[in-house]
Structure 1
Amino acid sequence: MNTKDRSIITDRKLAPEGHLKIEWVNAHMPVLNRIKAQFEKEQPFKGLKVAISLHLEAKTAYLAKVVQAGGAEVTITGSNPLSTQDDVCAALVEDGITVFAKYNPDPKEYKELMIKTLETEPDLIIDDGGDLVTILHSERRDLLKNVRGGAEETTTGILRLKSLEKEGSLQFPMVAVNDAYCKYLFDNRYGTGQSVWDGINRTTNLVVAGKTVVVVGYGWCGKGVAMRAKGLGANVIVTEIDAIRAVEAYMDGFAVMPMSEAAQHGDFFVTVTGNRDVIRGENYKVMKNGAILSNAGHFDVEVNKPELEAMSKAKRTVRRNIEEYQLEDGRSIYVLAEGRLVNLAAGDGHPAEIMDMTFALQAMSLKYVNDNYKSIGSHVVNVPYVLDEQVARYKLESLGTSIDRLTDEQKAYLDSWAEH
């Protein structure tokens, strides 16, 4: 059975539009292009099956094609029901990749599509948020037998993996791509910072300058969101549970306070914690009329929607990706993209040049785990620094930029313990 017959997508006729999107990002991902050329020559995944669960849009599609170029039989599904782009899915099917994904399937179908991806019995996986790993370690342990290992994209997924590892349940090695320097320094900070405000701005069509933005969490994603909000002219408040990050936010020039206080001031709220219920019932009680809530963490649990709905007398969609909750006291609170990732569910995700580095890390990490899975064992491991630095060097070369190198005398000086 060929990939077109196996695949489950919305409409194969959309392929031409999807190809144009993929061609556009291809032209802006020089690092991944370089790795694709290497993979075509070396064929590191020849004869292997690779299952991918990521936000299924053009940049992800190109990563899938790079892995395919390395000899793999690739199957891909979406990691969020609202971020899948149907035209991109159709284009991938035409290119010989099996796709089990649709935009906005119901929860049951969404899960079924993910399981179908795993039923191809992959040797390697690329995961986003740990969903593939969770299914493999719970309801479909029968599909574990071929899995050599894989790579994880997100903070949330790594937390889940480390929990599995801690209890001794993890069955194969996973590379923590999110923890690589070329991921969190650029993807999490600059990618999230830009794409979040792209999603919010195109969805609301409201000015940010002069408004108060509450950024919930000051990790690398939070830093990026706050930095870009400041650049747009907003007054920025940061809420945190980590004292060190709170001091950092303060010294970066932002107001720092608990959510109980910040909730009274915010016009826009952006959650970036990876945790649940960071905005909840007690906060809704004191929010301004017209407050706009959005999430840029992973799952749609950071903004507690059930509590908001329970406090509301009515709910309606007032604009695409904007739900209005009308409270009993007459105030309205708005939630963007159903509380899912606003930068992907209501936008196109990170810029192509940013994802070029992240997906280069994914491709190289997949090769690394395939080459070393027997010696790594069932552990969560970091991306080797040599791969991290190689991606950075490829990026610099693509920009026409060079940097200094140590002389032999400088290396000897730094390595010496003797008196300098």
Structure 2
Amino acid sequence: MPDKKDDPCDALPHPAAEYCRVPDDADGPPGNGGGSGAVTEGASDLVMDLAKTLIDALYGLLAPEKAWAPKRTDSWVYQQFLWLGQHLSVAIFTCVVVVCALTAWQGVPRLRQMGASTGWTLAAVAMMASIPGAVELLHKAVSAAFRAAFADGQGTLLATIEADLKATQSWDPVPVLLLVAALVVALAFAALVFMTRQLGILVFVCMAPVVLAALARGGDMTAVKLWAQRLLGLLFAPFALLLVTPFVSLTRGALVLDAVLLVAADAIMLRMIFHGVPYLGPRIAGAARSVVERNTHSKIVRAVVRAGSPDVYEEENSPRVPRTVDTPGRAATQDSGVLLAAYGVKAPSRPGRLTTASYIDKAQREEGDRQARAVQVQRVRRQARAAADRLPTPPAPLPPPARSDGPPPST
């Protein structure tokens, strides 16, 4: 046998390297005792390694240790937005000072406005320089909390899956294969979550100076609150998997039920990520649902995708009734309108209306309901006529006595 440092089997992963080092006259790989059980036990080890690799990949995609957003203000990409935000703040502050000087005859109100603008301008410039570091620290804290909750906790879904795989003795291939398939599907969703979160965090961090510059007008927090809500939604999105944690105790030892819970968690993640992230949601979710419904006839799979992407109407302006959502373009327009309003610019808004596809869908639904109501009314009328025909004919009423205009007869 060659020397260990020149052993070609070292280039193979475990347990393939052990199989490579087994002599030709041996009955089976070392450590398995030979015989027919060696292949089964080796396959079980391979399945364990595959499941462990998939779970580690899920951790890495849902809670990455590094973000694509800049960590410090010296990043070239962030420097451009920081320069723009600082100059916007100075320009707005200058305009406020000029307006207060021209209307100084009003006295104390203009002095208060100038003092508020001065304080908010300084606060906005300071916050611009601290946003990258704050977002990086928050991202690391969220990732560490996610890993601690899912890796160390015994009541979480992925930890329960690992424990069930280790405790399984019979190695029935059907539940194991179902679980591996569910892990692969979860990995695809995790990749989509990773791309959405990383790109969204990058965009929102770079837009921070422009949004914070609006505070120089006097502390208008509308645009800042909207920006913070979007960013926090992106950062805390992976914790949607914690919603299935209360049901984990019911599936201990059952790999099939673990797979069902994992698919349910995928559906919750799909709904929360797509509908929680602006500009990206309903259209992609609806397209994914259409693809699944066109390529499969399984009622269970269709129920899962409908739970993740329910029927909604896309509305091009503010919602008028429940179950309506904004189109991605209209959502972006509304957010930009909020930012322009923070700068004092009133953006024109069109009246609310449904998109063409949603209007056609709504008209078809209303037409179907109208036809169903017409059929029901006709059926009720026929039943009423039939019941009326079966009733006996009432006798004709007696005619009233004839009245004479003369005096009554004498007795």
Q: Same fold (TM over 0.5)?
A: no
In proportion to residue count, which structure has more strand? 1
TM-score by length of 2: 0.20
In proportion to residue count, which structure has more helix? 2
